[in-house]
Amino acid sequence: MFIGVLIGFTSNYFTGDDNKPVQKVAEASQKGPAFTILSGFSYGLLSAMPALIGIGIATLSSYMLCNPLGDGYSMLGIAMSAVGMLSIVGMIITNDAFGPVVDNARGLAEMGGLGEDVIRTADQLDSAGNTTKAITKGFAIGAAGLTVIALLAAFSEIITSKLDDFAGFDIMNPSVFFGALVGIAIPAVFSAMLIFGVNKNSQKLVNEIHRQFEETPGLREGQVEPDYTTCINITTTGAIKELIPAGAVTIIATLLVGFVGGVLAIGGFLAGNILSGLLLAMLMSNAGGLWDNAKKYIESGNYGGKGSDAHKAAVIGDTIGDPFKDTAGPSINTQITVVSLVASLAAELFLLYSIF
């Protein structure tokens, strides 16, 4: 729970609009979108370090505290630390739900023409929602990391029960090192496929909107209602279609590594997948929230306010940040968990059938 709080404070510092990172990115936006993106991405990288160190401390301390109790208790300690981090799951879900609620409230206030005062208040709530979403994602990522370490231990125990001479996963072993390299790459490939999916469906949506404006008389003048249903179908159907190949690639890669390099390669694969996944998830979640709040900070009247060059640059940063924080970042938690479960379920197959 202590490490969870540390992750929460870290996410709050890097995404809250009353803190230096957001204000510095907003300031950099005056010079153009390239500075917005570079500064935001850099702060996102920095934000991953305290969280990763915290997860490492939680893992090491729980292992050391429980190891003297006997065989198996050390891994039980790591699993219990994951449960401890998730013990405030009610608060986590509440804060996570708050973000989309106030985000949509802000959109409704603008579409309903409720006036600048209402929109300004909704903007402040939306900014707070971006921060709470980043904090809860940090909790979820931390808990997922600890849980998957426990799953890695479970995989190791399965192998130990089948092989008398199994001595663990030595990184100097070529099979383990091969698996680690592939495992490090998988979260990056998974994220790329999801972001490509967002990009592809966004282009379809823009084309559909252009078509409606060109082919529907009176739409530009506001005399006719747009065809919202078609737009919604494009996004929902596209989201499902793009998620399936990304998930399939991670599962197939796990099986291929296992059947090529055996259980030793899978051990390295899981370790690489966990470490790379944690880094990318923290980076994308925090950088996305930071870019969004930098835009909000400018919209509140700083550095020229709405319509200024700084605001235009910040909007570009926010557009990049949305698939980071709302698509790829949160999905990595599920990806590393699924990969670990598939590896554990197929462990005996990897023992019986592998090239090396």
293 SS3 class: helix
> Is residue 287 within 8 Å of 43, Cβ to Cβ?
yes
pLDDT at residue number 133: 79
Tell me the average pLDDT across 175-204.
94
- Give the phi and the psi of residue 163 in degrees, each rounded to 5: -120, 120
The mean-pLDDT minimum among 16-25, 124-133, 260-269 falls in 124-133
Tell me the average pLDDT across 154-177.
84
CA dihedral 292, 298, 299, 304 (to 10 degrees): -150
The string of pLDDT tens digits covering residues 325-337 is 888 988 998 899 8
118 SS3 class: helix
Q: How far apart are CA 256 and CA 327, in angstroms?
A: 26
pLDDT at residue number 221: 84
The string of pLDDT tens digits covering residues 78-132 is 888 888 887 877 888 888 888 889 988 988 998 888 888 898 898 889 888 878 8
Query: What does DSSP assign to residue 88?
Result: T
Q: In this model, does residue 309 exceed pLDDT 90? A: yes
CB-count exposure of residue 294 (10 Å: 0-12, 13-18, 19+)? buried
Confidence at 164, pLDDT banded by 50, 70, 90: confident
pLDDT at residue number 99: 84
The mean-pLDDT minimum among 158-167, 185-194, 210-219, 321-330 falls in 158-167
Q: How far apart are CA 91 and CA 87, in angstroms?
A: 9
The string of pLDDT tens digits covering residues 34-45 is 999 999 999 999
Tell me the average pLDDT across 228-241.
90
CB-count exposure of residue 207 (10 Å: 0-12, 13-18, 19+)? exposed
Number of other residues whose CB lies within 10 A of the CB of residue 6:
19
Q: In this model, does residue 165 exceed pLDDT 80? A: no
Task: For residue 13, give the nearest of 52, 59, 46 by alpha carbon.
Answer: 46
Most distant CA pair in the chain, distance = 77
Number of other residues whose CB lies within 10 A of the CB of residue 302:
18
Q: In this model, does residue 20 exceed pLDDT 90? A: yes
Q: How far apart are CA 8 and CA 132, in angstroms?
A: 9
Confidence at 303, pLDDT banded by 50, 70, 90: very high
pLDDT at residue number 11: 87
pLDDT at residue number 240: 87
Confidence at 2, pLDDT banded by 50, 70, 90: confident
- Using the structure block, give the residue that is written with the tokens 């996305």: 288
